Structures are given as structure tokens and as C-alpha cells.
Structure 1
Amino acid sequence: MFSFISDLFRGDDRVDEEKYTRSTHAGAKPTRTISYDPTLIQALEKDHQTLVEIFQRIWSEGFEQQNFRQLAHLLTLFKSGFQAHLIKENVRFYVYLEQALAEDVHTLQIVKDFRTDMNEIATAVVQFCKRYTHEAFTPEMVRDFRRDYQKIGEALTRRVTLEEDELYTLYQPS
């Protein structure tokens, strides 16, 4: 099973990896290992829409209705979709940008800061999902959920807006 997953993610990247290793060992400029994908930004934005819809359903179908089984289901769905989005963004988007912007130290640092910020948000989101994936809530959990849901929602709204309005504009064919 593990080798299947490794092979699935590896694909033909081994050839690119070998070329990259050879070029960097020879002192040459590294070759690109991730190609530009004209559909990537659209796919990432679609992920955002789906995640926002699920996040809203967590409140309306789960918490407001006090349907903690549905809430747990939606949190699990949100967490897995969020993690899949992060993998896509980290592997295909950020790696490409870091390669394309290798000569632009200032912009590259901004991209790296965005990536670090997203990793911190991701940790908070995953902890939130794990904490509240229960089919029964104590009164304290109900109180805390309201506060935590609002904080996570604000962080995600801010992040999605920044990504779509600012960061994704940097993704261009080179």
C-alpha cells in the first residue's frame, strides 16, 4: 500500500529529480522540476469555494442544529479537503513559484512568508477539526466551539482573500 501511494505521488518526477540533482551538482543553475499548469489557479480557487461551503455547513447543519454527528462528519470532510488542498498548493504552486522566482530575492521571500503563514493556519485548522470531531459536546465545548469557529473562519477568510487577490497573481508561465 505504501509503495502504491509513493508511486502515485512520484509519477515521472524521478527523471526530473535526477536532472535537478545532476544540474545542481555540476554547479549549474537548477532546472525546473515543476511545470506551469494553466488550470492550477482555477482548481485552487474551486477548492476554496468547496471548503467555504463545507465550513458554512459545519455551522448551519451541525452546530446550529446541535447535530453533533453531522458536525463531526462535516469537520472530517473539511479537514480532509483542506489537507488535500494544502498538498496541491505546496507541491504544485509553491514549488513552482520558488523555482520561477529564484532570481527575485524580495518576491521569493514574500512567497516564503505566505507559505509559513499558511502552515501556521493549517496547524490551527487541523487542531480545531480534531478537537470538535465528537458526537457529543459538553457545555464548555459548545461555548468554546462558537469562539474557535469564528477565529478559524476569520483566519481562513483573510487567507483566501490574500491568496486569490495577491499571491495567485504571481503564478505565471515563465
Structure 2
Amino acid sequence: MIRFISGMFGSDSTVDEEKYTRSGYSGTNAGRTISYDPSLINALKKDHYTLIDIFQRIWSEGYEKQDFRQLSQLLTQFKSGFQAHLIKENVRFYVYLEQALAGDAHTLQIVKDFRTDMNEIANAVVQFCKRYTHEAFTQEMNRDFKRDYQKIGEALTRRVTLEENELYTLYQPS
């Protein structure tokens, strides 16, 4: 599973598996389970860049051209990449922060609120992708797509900006 997810964004899965193993992950809550990874933030930012590119192509190569087959393929690609990014973020980023900030209740609560917000956005993104992953659109779908695409785009833009400018700065070696 780790090899598949790591492969989604072109990273070296063998290196990632070794880091994961060295991190001491034991599947229990006793002690630290995730070690600091100095390359993680750059990897998460690279994911953002890749996802933004696919999201823009959904519009330009799919919807604008009314190429619903291409649109469907891009939505599937976006959803898979987005979910892989969330898994990476949840397992490697949030777990580490929650461990590192265990003694700082205020900042820890802010991190947990960010995580909750991301889960809500994730649900909306997945529902959007599922709704429009069809090779033909009904009139209703065609009418609603632009509005839904803009809403998702606004939520993702806000989130990526917050993560990269605020949240990711908390990720430091402990």
C-alpha cells in the first residue's frame, strides 16, 4: 500500500518504506510513532502543485471542450491523487504534529481544527468527483458543474494557502 501511494507522486517508494520503518511505527499509541522527515513539506507542496495542475485541466481540457470522457478521466486522476495526498498528510504530517505538540494544548487544538476542516473539504471534493465522473452529462449536471467547480476551487485555494503559509510552518524537528 505504501509503495502504491508513494508512487502516485513519483517518490522513491523504497526510500519511503525505509523511512517509515526507521520511524519506529508500531501501530500503537505508546511513544512517538512518526519521525520528523525533512523532505515531507516539499513533498506535500509538490502534491499541491500536481493537484492544482490536474484541477485546472479538468476545466480546460474537459469541461470547456465538453470532452466528458477526458473530464471523467481527469476527475478520477484528481480524486486518486487527492486521496493519496490526504493519506500522506494524515499519517506523516498530522500524527507527527500531534505527537510533537502534545504539551501545547492551544496549538494542538488549532492543528486538530485544521484536520477537521480538511476532512470536511475532502468529503466535498470526493462527492464532486463522484458526481461528475461520467462520460455524458445531463442538462442538470452541465448547468451545475461550473458552480460546483468554482466552489471546490475556492475551498482548495483557501486551504492550500493556509497550509503552506501557516500550518506547514509548525512542522519542525522536535
Shorter-chain TM-score range: 0.7 to 0.9
* 1:67 matched residue in structure 2: 67
CA distance in 1, matches of 2:87, 2:24: 21
Kept in 2, the 8 Å contact 1:13–1:33? The answer is no
* 1:170 matched residue in structure 2: 170
Structure 2 counterpart of 1:93, one-letter code? F
* 1:156 matched residue in structure 2: 156
* 2:42 matched residue in structure 1: 42
CA distance in 1, matches of 2:68, 2:133: 8
For structure 1, the residue ranges without an aligned partner over 5 or more in a row are: 25-30
C-alpha deviations, 1:51-108, integer Å up to 9, x for none?
0000000000000000000000000000000000000000000000000000000000
**Runs of 4 or more consecutive aligned structure 1 residues displaced over 3 Å after TM superposition:** 11-16
Q: Structure 2 residue aligned with 1:17, among 5, 11, 26? A: 26
Kept in 1, the 8 Å contact 2:23–2:35? The answer is no
Which has the higher Rg, Structure 1 or Structure 2?
A: 1
RMSD: 2.3
Q: CA deviation at 1:14?
A: 10
Q: CA deviation at 1:17?
A: 2.3
* 2:10 matched residue in structure 1: none
TM-score by length of 1: 0.86
- 2:135 counterpart of 1:135: yes
CA distance in 2, matches of 1:145, 1:76: 16
Kept in 2, the 8 Å contact 1:58–1:75? The answer is yes
Please give the secondary structure, in 1, of the residue aligned with 2:26.
helix
Kept in 1, the 8 Å contact 2:23–2:34? The answer is no
Kept in 2, the 8 Å contact 1:51–1:82? The answer is yes
Structure 2 counterpart of 1:99, one-letter code? Q
Kept in 2, the 8 Å contact 1:62–1:68? The answer is yes
Kept in 2, the 8 Å contact 1:36–1:173? The answer is yes
The 1:81/1:16 distance shift into structure 2, 3 A limit, reads closer
Q: CA deviation at 1:15?
A: 5.9
Kept in 2, the 8 Å contact 1:54–1:74? The answer is yes
Q: CA deviation at 1:126?
A: 0.2
Q: Matched residues, percent identical?
A: 77
* 2:146 matched residue in structure 1: 146
